[in-house]
């Protein structure tokens, strides 16, 4: 597997505060990676740099070997999709209209939507289980449904990579699991590269191929769930004494002492 993103000696500063310093990291194609860390550890910032929402102060991020700002904005949007942590209100758009906006990178300001586009849109809505809600206004949906609508928009974007910033924070357990399972399944079917910021380390270990942890803007752990899910590493990540049990192969339960 080749590297999708190559992050080299990355540093980000906002004002005088250093948010991320000197990170070297590769994200491999077709891999689902979880970004872990406590609040303010720089996870979201790293994700924003990958999504080109934020320019790094130092270092470089290469996408498929190309350096920054080489690709046109819409070109980039056809390759990488990004879901912000707090999607704004959508002011009366229905679910279907929102998801249809995901086709913009492919059709541009004036291009006609073909029947293929509408198929993709309906497929994305079906994949996220929103078909019954497709004509409802996004603002009137519950938090979880709204989050799924935004994920559906990303699916309709048909990118090779998804960057998700806490996509399951507003969901109940059932929908958390189903959303992650969906992401996992899509990643396998379409060979997607996924980077997802998660707070629930057990779910991360269950559904991701690789866990990457940040603390104070620095990389402190990087490996397969097998390598990360032990009490020592979790303690370094979260700064509280923790224990881990492996109930079955690939299924861990972590707890706080």
Partner 1 sequence: MYVESQVATTAPRLPGKLPLTAILLWLGALAASAAPWLPELDLLSVVSAFWSYDGSDYSSVLAHFSWAPRVSIALLIGCGLGLAGAVTQQVLGNPLASPTTLGVEAGGQFGVTLATLFAPALLAFSQDLVAVAGGLLAIGMVVALTWRLGFSPVTVILAGLVITFFMGALNMAFLLIKGEWLGNLFIWGAGSLVQNSWQPFMDLWPRVLILGAALVLLMRPLQLLQLGQASASSLGARVGLLRMLALFLVVLMSATVVSRVGVVAFVGLAAPVLARLLGARTLQERLFWSTLLGGGLLLLADTLAHWASSWGDGSLVPTGTTMALIGGPIILLALQGFKNTHHMPGQESNPGAFLPKRRSVLVTGAVLLCLLLVTFFVSMGWSPGLQDWSWTPITDWGEAWVWRGPRLLAAILAGVCLGLAGSLIQRMTGNVMASPELLGISGGAALVMVLIVLTGTEIGRAGQLGAATLGAAAALGLLILLARRHRFAGNQLLLGGLALYVFMDSGLRLVMASGGTVAAKLLNWMYGATWLISETEALSLLGLTLVICLGLFVAIRPLTLLALGDTSASSLGLPVTRARLGLLVLAAILTAAATVVIGPLSFVGLIAPHLARVLGQQTVGRQMIISALAGGLLLALADYLSRIVIFPSQLPAGLLAALVGGIYFLWGLSRHGRA
- 221: three-class secondary structure by DSSP: strand
* Binder among 41, 45, 147, 157 for partner 1 (CB under 8 A): 157
Q: Is 178 in the site for partner 1 (CB under 8 A)?
A: yes
- 195: three-class secondary structure by DSSP: strand
Q: Is 118 in the site for partner 1 (CB under 8 A)?
A: no
Q: Is 123 in the site for partner 1 (CB under 8 A)?
A: no
Beta strands at 193-197 and 251-256: parallel, antiparallel or unpaired:
unpaired
In the bound state with partner 1, the residue whose beta carbon lies nearer, of 65 and 108, is 108
Q: Is 227 in the site for partner 1 (CB under 8 A)?
A: no
Q: Is 249 in the site for partner 1 (CB under 8 A)?
A: no
Take residue 214 and report the two structure tokens written for it. Answer: 């940040």
Take residue 241 and report the two structure tokens written for it. Answer: 């004494």
Q: Which range touches partner 1 (CB under 8 A), out of 29-37, 71-79, 207-215, 220-228? A: 71-79
To partner 1, the closest distance from the beta carbon of 235 in angstroms equals 33
Binding positions for partner 1, 84-103, rule CB under 8 A: 84, 87-94, 96-98, 101-102
* Binder among 39, 65, 110, 248 for partner 1 (CB under 8 A): 110
To partner 1, the closest distance from the beta carbon of 91 in angstroms equals 5
Q: How far apart are CA 204 and CA 49, in angstroms?
A: 21
Residue 192 CA neighbour count, 13 Å, CB half = 28
CB neighbours of residue 219 within 10 Å: 20
Q: Is 129 in the site for partner 1 (CB under 8 A)?
A: yes
- Distance set, CA 92 to CA 117, 136, 152, 196 (Å): 22, 9, 17, 28
Q: How far apart are CA 49 and CA 211, in angstroms?
A: 18
* Binder among 17, 108, 248, 257 for partner 1 (CB under 8 A): 108
**CB-based contact 98:149 (threshold 8 Å):** yes
* Binder among 1, 2, 132, 239 for partner 1 (CB under 8 A): 132
* Binder among 182, 187, 214, 244 for partner 1 (CB under 8 A): 182
User: DSSP readout, 79-143?
Assistant: HEEEE-SSPPP-TT-BHHHHHHGGGHHHHTTTPPP-HHHHHHHHHHHHHTT-GGGTTSBGGGS-H
Q: Is 80 in the site for partner 1 (CB under 8 A)?
A: yes
In the bound state with partner 1, the residue whose beta carbon lies nearer, of 108 and 249, is 108
**CB-based contact 171:91 (threshold 8 Å):** no
Q: Is 59 in the site for partner 1 (CB under 8 A)?
A: no
To partner 1, the closest distance from the beta carbon of 5 in angstroms equals 15
In the bound state with partner 1, the residue whose beta carbon lies nearer, of 135 and 257, is 135
Residues at the interface with partner 1 (CB under 8 A): 48, 51-53, 72-78, 80-84, 87-94, 96-98, 101-102, 104-105, 107-110, 128-137, 139, 150, 157, 178, 181-182
């Amino acid at each position: 597997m080749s590297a999708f993103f190559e992050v080299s000696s990355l540093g980000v500063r906002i004002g005088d505060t250093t948010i991320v310093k000197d990170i070297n990291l590769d994200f491999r194609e077709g891999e689902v990676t979880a970004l872990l860390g406590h609040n303010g550890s720089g996870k979201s910032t790293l994700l924003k740099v990958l999504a080109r929402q934020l320019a790094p102060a130092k270092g470089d991020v290469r996408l498929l070997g190309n350096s920054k700002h080489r690709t046109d904005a819409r070109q980039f949007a056809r390759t990488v999709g990004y879901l912000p942590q707090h999607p704004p209100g959508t002011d009366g758009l229905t679910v279907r209209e929102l998801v249809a906006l995901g086709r913009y990178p492919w059709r541009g300001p004036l291009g006609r939507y073909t029947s293929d586009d509408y198929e993709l849109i309906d497929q994305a809505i079906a994949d996220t289980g929103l078909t019954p809600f497709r004509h409802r206004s996004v603002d009137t949906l519950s938090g979880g449904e709204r989050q799924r609508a935004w994920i559906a928009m990303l699916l309709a974007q048909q990118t090779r990579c998804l960057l998700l910033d806490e996509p399951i924070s507003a969901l109940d357990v059932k929908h958390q699991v189903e959303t992650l399972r969906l992401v996992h399944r899509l990643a396998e079917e379409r060979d997607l590269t996924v980077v997802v910021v998660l707070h629930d380390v057990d779910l991360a270990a269950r559904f991701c191929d690789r866990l990457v942890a940040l603390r104070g803007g620095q990389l402190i752990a990087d490996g397969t769930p097998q390598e990360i899910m032990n009490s020592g590493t979790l303690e370094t990540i979260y700064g509280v004494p923790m224990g881990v049990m492996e109930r079955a192969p690939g299924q861990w339960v972590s707890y706080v002492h």
